Structure 1
Amino acid sequence: MRFSMPRLPKCSLYHWIFVAALMFSGSAAAAAPERVISAGHSITELVLALGGGDSLIAVDSSTRLPADFRPLPVVGYYRQLPVEGLLAQNPQLLVGGDHMGPANTLKLLQESGVSVLQLPEAETGEQLLENIDRLSSALEKPAAAIKRQVADQLRSLKLASKALAQPPRVLFVRAQQGRGLKAAGTGTSPDSLIRLAGGVNTVDFDGYKQLSDEALLELRPDWILFSSDQAEQLQNGSALLEWQPLLKLTPAGRRGAFLSVDGYALLGGIGLASLKEAKTLNEKLSAR
């Protein structure tokens, strides 16, 4: 008795070819992006920390790359990205914060087949860890090592904050001669940095607002912070006393307690540079 294999219907060959094609296209779509543009310093830091440096093809003007990293094209500022400049780089993925834009640029990129990932600006360490997870998934890079490092830094900062005898009152300002002082309130990167370092923000309004002379006296800051990009202009704080003499009546003014913080640690919410700067700030707050 002879046995023979049953014949497959004629359509089976085409069926399996179709299935194979679907499987191939699915795996191709899920492949890690090889051409990535990062917009925003804190986002670029995370891309590099996750091991995505090889796929990075361009950055925005707010990014400070490591000194030993290869030169990359700069494609505008993350809030005003030009669609032509981005598409000229032939990217597969554009990643940035929730203030990346404009919206029309992002829409045109997506219509051109470019994936766009916007991460919320982290205001807490927990939100930073969530951003790491989302970016890790988009880049298809393992996140365990960097998450352990960040978690250790957050625990260390919490312990250092608790060690402060009393949380110092801290005011972060942007200043221009003849234009008064603007203070950073809740929902800003300086506010997040102050809290990470164990301080208390002297203002509780949202965003940045101009301060009146009366408010300067009522706030009674123990420390006054400003961004490093203004350090020279503000003469490391002494110019503030000339522009706003009432500051001399505050605890910070009497002691000359002015501190410059790394401007890159204030871009795009809490990032890796923010954790490092918060540690430095905590040590200075603890010293006096």
Structure 2
Amino acid sequence: MFIDGTRTMTLSNLQPLTRALCCFFSAAALVFTGAAAAAAPERVISAGHSITELVLALGGGDSLIAVDSSTRLPAEFRPLPVVGYYRQLPVEGLLAQNPQLLVGGDHMGPATTLKLLQDSGVKILQLPEAGNGEELLRNIDRLAQELDKPAAAIKQSVQAQLRALTAARAALAQPPRILFVRAQQGRGLKAAGTGTSPDSLIRLAGGVNAVAFEGYKQLSDEALVELRPDWILFSSDQAEQLNGGAELLQWQPLLKLTPAGKRSAFYSVDGYALLGGIGLASLKEAKKLNEKFVAK
């Protein structure tokens, strides 16, 4: 009986111990599953040049499997499939790449494509278009967290560039009046107002936008003279067509009466610095633009 009693006591002690071990291993499995779910995505599609810049700067290049047509990859980077334009992304082309994460700006779409991707298990991260340096830094933090990458180095670099731009703006005797245009012969000029990427770049470089309206609007001939821009900017994708700005004076002779026209003060902005708000390319372009303001 003593032996039987000991055996009985041992078995009864094992029952709660077994239950405890089962609970422990179940909890451990849940923790492991959660950690696996939070692991860095291994298959990432980036839509938008400024977003792709950040992915690469954060060290996420190894996970990048495709980009959109607005992205300019570094010359030394491996070739990647191009899956449409960030505003008109095709569901089939994206799903064919078997992505875990699609990251882009708040203009990425269409909404139906994003919904179908989410329903298929693809995570979507949309970063708001940065209008200034602080918003760019917040985007870096959000993307770094999603990619599980350290952000300190790139943030230090961005902060140093922003400080340098702040000092450069303060050194200007007077902020120049800037007009950013899209031009087409026979159709006049459209100017970029507030809420546009050119407007953000102008302010970052230390200029004042010559127009106060929102978005892009057509300019009348009279307005061209009244605005009195000190500089006229256009995107690099129009540089050849506009012959460095010389064609603008032929298409719109009244520009010759403006300070910019009299001095032929034209500047071709890197078009990639205008995609998706303020990005890394925008900081470099703002520095170049500010140096133009100082030199002339």
Shared fold, TM over 0.5: yes
Are residues 1:260 and 2:265 paired? no
SS in 1 for 2:45: strand
1:8 counterpart = 2:15: yes
- Aligned pair count reads 288
For 1:102 and 1:213, locate their aligned partners in 2 and report how far apart those are by CA, in whole Å.
Answer: 37
* AA of the residue aligned to 1:189: S
Are positions 1:287 and 2:295 aligned together?
A: yes
Q: Identity over the aligned pairs, expressed in percent?
A: 80
The alpha carbon displacement at 1:11 in A equals 4.5
Q: Does 1:239 align with 2:265?
A: no
Question: 1:273: which partner in 2?
Answer: 281
Residue 114 of structure 2 corresponds to 106
For residues 124-273 of structure 1, the aligned pairs below 5 Å read 124-273=132-281
Q: How far apart are residue 99 of structure 1 and its match? A: 0.1
**Are 1:48 and 2:56 matched, yes or no?**
yes
Aligned Cα root-mean-square deviation (Å): 1.5
Distance in 2 (CA, whole Å) between partners of 1:156 and 1:13 is 59
Q: CA deviation at 1:69?
A: 0.2
CA deviation profile, 1:139-165 (whole Å, cap 9, x unmatched): 000001100100000000010011111
Instruction: Give per-residue Cα distances to partners, 1:117-151, cap 9 Å, x unaligned.
Output: 00000001000000000000000000011001000
> Structure 2 length normalisation: TM-score?
0.94
Give the distance between the partners of 2:24 and 2:142, measured in 1 at CA: 35
Comparing 15-24 with 121-130, greater Cα deviation is found at 15-24
SS of aligned partner of 2:14? coil
| C-alpha distance in 1 between matches for 2:74 and 2:144 | 20
Runs of 5+ unmatched residues, structure 2: none
Q: Tell me the distance in 2 between the aligned counterparts of 1:222 and 1:89.
A: 48
Matched position secondary structure for 1:203: coil
Give a deviation string over 1:96-124, Cα, whole Å, max 9, x none: 00000000100111111110000000001
Tell me, in whole angstroms, the C-alpha distance in 1 between the residues paired with 2:141 and 2:82. Answer: 26
CA apart distance, 1:21: 2.5
Which residue is equivalent to 1:96?
A: 104
Q: Distance in 2 between matches of 1:80 and 1:11?
A: 55
SS of 2:161 mapped into structure 1: helix
Give secondary structure in 2 for the equivalent of 1:225. Answer: strand
Give how far 1:16 is off: 3.5
Equivalent AA in structure 2 for residue 159 of structure 1: A
Question: Please, what TM-score do these two structures have when normalized by structure 1?
Answer: 0.97
Measure, in 2, the Cα distance between the counterparts of 1:71 and 1:225: 32
